[in-house]
Structures are given as C-alpha cells and as structure tokens.
Structure 1
Amino acid sequence: MIINPELDKLYNVRAAIPNHTDIFADWEQRSVEFSQNVKGQLDLRYGKGPREKLDLYLASEKNAPLHVFIHGGYWQAMDKSQSNFLGKTFLDAGINVAMIGYDLCPDVTLRELVEEIRRAFVWLWNHAEEYGYDQGKVQISGHSAGGHLVCMLLATNWLSYGLPTDVNPIHSAIAISGLFDLTQLVPTSINAKLGLELEEAKLLSPLFVDPQNICPLLLVVGSDESSGFHQQSDNLSVGWGENFEQLDRMNAVNCHHLSVVALLAEKQSSLFQWAIRHLGS
C-alpha cells in the first residue's frame, strides 16, 4: 500500500493531539464514575458478533425521547463504554440514552460493520415500547468514524429492514468530526486495517450516496482540527444540502478532534443545546 504522507498527516488525530492519552484516561475515569452512579441496561445484544451489544440508560419519565451515540476510533479502536459519560447531560435533561458497540476492523469488513449499526438501529426502533422511550423521537449522533456511521444510517432505505415507510425513523442527527469521503483514507495508514479499495471506499462514503432519511442534520467540526476534517463536512454540506430542509454546519471554537465531542457533556454548549432543541425538550 502506497502512503500519501500529506493525507496521512491530515487524518492522524493522535499525532495532532500530543496529550491524547491523558484525554482518553480522563474519559475512562468519567465513564467509570458515570457507571457507578447510573444504573443502565448493559450489553443488550442486537446481533451475533462479539461486540454487537448496546447499553441503554433510561430516564425516569416514560415515553421520553432517545439519544443514540456511536463512538469513533477509525472503525478499528475504542469501545462504547469509553463514551458513556456523555450520557449524563441527556439523562439530566430527561432524555434516554443508547450507546452502540460494534465489531472492529479487521475482524469484520467496513461493509459488515455498517450493517451491524443498521441492525442496532432496527433493534432500538423495535424495542421502544418494551423499554419505554418515544419511537417517534430518536436522535442519532456519532463522533469521527461514528459520524460516518450516522450518515450511513441516514443513507439507509429502511424498507428492506422491516421498518415502516410512512414515517422517518430518525428524528434528527448529529455528525461530529465525521468522515464522509473514504477515498481520502485509502492511501493512508488508517487503511491498513480497513483494507479498502477505491471503489469500495466510494460505495461506503456518504458523500457519494443519496440520503434516504430527511431530518434536521448538524455537521460539527472543531475549529482546531485539520483542514481534512473541515473539508469532509464542508463537502457533505454541499453535496447533501439540496436534500435537507435543515442542514446546519457548526465550527466549535477552540476545540480539537477529541475535545469537540466532549461538548455533548456540557449542558451550556451550543452542540448540546442543538441536540436538546431538536428533541423537543
């Protein structure tokens, strides 16, 4: 595999954030504290894969909205448990929270991984009555690779998955520092575990597919992130813009690739306020 050093640098998040290990340690500690204080329905299985599990944290009020979060890690790292601290602000606002786990590349292909996320969403849709959240107000969000997966959900025709066609199952969506043109990653070290050829990368890129779920969509990038991440969201904003009545583009001031997603845990942040506003709370 021939590496393009310029593209490799644009998308090398850890090299751009020297203290990334400290940040991950902080996330883990905050997640441990969250788990000790909040009872959840953990490791609910939605598929057969080792990591095809999700966690549900339920608000006290019945039939409240549901916020679904998909973690990042370039489809090859991280775990749902490392992000669960992001759920506290939503629970405090009376919003149910789901954290989706998924199998990682190269144990599965990226195409298979996308199908796992679709299965997870269908599971959440079908189990709304059982767990007591509002099936009509399901918001999805994701960070980095999770932002890509959010938009792949938006690009899904749910008819073949058994969901009704007379309603939009996704109420609103947030893609944080997402990756929407995967052809940019083919000549980078990130692709070593993904194994994407150019044609497959294009088929799995939201930028090159038509959205099927039209709802309020927010694309967020930290102001201090590389031009690569800004271009990813800018291009999708243009490419999908004609399809959406509301497609917002936000630059989070003084945020890099990791600190931007942590804004979901800050109730006064513009990111969290957008999320709450578009769940009707």
Structure 2
Amino acid sequence: MDWTAAYDNASFIPGASAYVERWPRAAAAFREGARGEIGIAHGAHPREKLDLFLPEGTPAGLVVFVHGGYWRRFDRTDWSHLAAGPLARGWAVAMPGYPLCPEVTIPEITASVRGAIALAARHVAGPIRLTGHSAGGHLVARMPAAGLAPEVLSRVARIVPISPVSDLEPLLRTEMAETLRLTPEIAAAESPLHAPAPDCPVTVWVGAEERPVFLDQARWLAEAWGAQHRIAAGRHHFDVIDDLAEPDGPLTSALLA
C-alpha cells in the first residue's frame, strides 16, 4: 500500500486548489465586520497568537477551533469565517495559531494548543466546546490527556474532532514522517486512540466522501471512546468544515448540542 497516497487528500478532491485559495479570502472578509480581538499572544513563538471573536451580549460559552494542515501548513487567519455559525448562536470563538513542523515537533504543537485554550478560557466564562479539523481534530482530541489544568478541563462540555488523525502510527510510513519529525515513540504518545475516553461527550465527525484512511481514523476513535460517530453525506475532506459557518448547519448544531 502507498501510504503517502492514502493520506494525500488534495490529489483526490476535484478543484482542491480553489478551496485553499478561497479560505483566506473568506476569512479576511469575515474579520472586517467581526467583534473581538485579533492576535492575542498565548506563547513566545510568533505563530502563538489567537483570534477571539465575540457575539453580541454575554457569550453562552467558548468554542475553540483548531485548524488543520498536517501540522505543517496554514494559519489561524485562514479560517475566521468558520466562527460565524457559533457566533450567531451567542458563543465566543477562539482560533489559535501554533508553530509548525519541522520547526517544532507534534508534542510541542500539542503543548502550544493547550496553552492557547487555557488563555482563551481566562477571557471567556462558561462551558467550553473544542473542535478542530484534520490535524486540528487530532489536537482537540489530545487535550483531555494533554495536561489541561483541572479548572479548564472541568469546563470542557463537548469535543468534536472533525476528520481527525486519531492514530499517528500509519503516518510513520508516509513521506511526511520526516517533516513531522515523527518517531514511533511520538506516534504512540500523541495518538488519541491510545488515551482514555474523556469524561465529556464526544462527537467524531467525518465526510462520507473522504479518503478511506480518514473514514477509518474517525471510526477507530469513535469505537475506542464509545463516542457518537457522524458521517456527513456528500462531504469530502476540504468541505466537511463548511457547515461551521452556518448557524443552523448540522456541524454547528452537533458542536453546540
């Protein structure tokens, strides 16, 4: 089996480059009219900043969205428009950035996201909902076992990993393993699949038209954790997140349930 091809999403999505080009434009347009604070530092690295979008009135709680990109690419500012759904329903939304491989390792990225969530939790009271896409799905699934402070972890009311990488071991056989600085020890320690199920509800979300390995990765996590498993009809890896921009989208509704 060609594991590099198996985990290569863009080559199997028609018009993939158009999605990548559209995301930052939509995000920039959204930020022009959004309330909140852009670029709050949550660490020493230049990429360790978060954007906090605020609804009208007192927030119902905090949603944290962690972006994907195989821990190697993209920026928090590419995804701002995905805050629109939760914002319209009265939730604050934090979107953290983090340093990328190969400058850092995946454990260092996990620690960065943990720090970002802790900072965002100090800015917004109430329940916390964690969600993230692809590598971001991995990162939010890591959080319950990644050392979040008890006062933050106790507020996490739901986790929705979207198309997550729940077992990093197969990536050891891909070409990206070198860039990720991935070792068998890191793969084992950083795989949510091997961690205990969190105390809060979890919904694992994946697109029906995704690569078979991502359908497997989602199923493995849902089965290991006894979590709800939702397969979004007609969605592939690049558009499975689109519903977060819609207040009544099924993904937004699952996140805020």
Report what 2:40 is aligned to.
44
* Number of residue pairs matched by the alignment: 257
Match of 2:101 in 1: 105
Deviation per CA, 1:118-172, whole angstroms, max 9, x where unpaired? 11111122x23xxxx333x1101000000000111022343xx4x439x713111
TM-score by length of 1: 0.87
Partner of 2:215: 230
Q: Which amino acid aligns with 2:119?
A: W
Give runs of aligned pairs for residues 1-281 of structure 1, distance below 5 A: 5=2, 7-125=3-121, 127-128=122-123, 133-135=124-126, 137-158=127-148, 161=149, 163-164=150-151, 168-211=154-197, 213-241=198-226, 247-277=227-257
1:42 to partner: Cα distance: 0.7
Q: What per-residue deviation string (whole Å, max 9, x for no partner) do you get for residues 168-216 of structure 1?
A: 13111110000010001111022131021122211111111224x4111
Alpha-carbon distance in structure 2 between the residues aligned to 1:270 and 1:90: 12
CA-atom RMSD in angstroms: 1.6
Contact 2:66 2:139 in 1 (8 A): yes
Matching residue's letter, 2:206:
V
Structure-2 separation of matches of 1:260 and 1:164: 32
Change in CA separation of 1:254 and 1:63 when aligned onto 2, cut-off 3 Å: closer
The alpha-carbon deviation at position 217 of structure 1 amounts to 0.7
Between structure 1 and structure 2, the one with the greater Rg is: 1
Q: In structure 2, list runs of 5 or more residues that go unmatched.
A: none
The CA distance in 1 between the partners of 2:85 and 2:251, in whole Å, is: 12
CA distance in 2, matches of 1:71, 1:41: 18
- Residue range with higher mean Cα deviation, 70-79 or 56-65: 56-65
Q: Is residue 88–residue 247 contact of structure 2 (8 Å, CA) maintained in 1? A: no
Return the offset for 1:63: 4.3
Could you list the per-position Cα deviations for residues 243-262 of structure 1 after superposition, in whole angstroms to 9, with x for gaps in the alignment?
xxxx2100010010010011
TM-score by length of 2: 0.95
Aligned amino acid, residue 154 of structure 1: P
Gaps of 5+ in 1: 242-246
Q: Deviations over 1:234-274 (max 9, x none)?
A: 11112122xxxxx2100010010010011211233321111
State the alpha-carbon separation in 2 of the partners of residues 75 and 112 from structure 1: 11
* Contact 2:84/2:247 (<8 A) preserved: no
Are residues 205 and 58 of structure 1, via their aligned partners in 2, closer, same or farther at CA, if it must alter by over 3 Å?
A: same
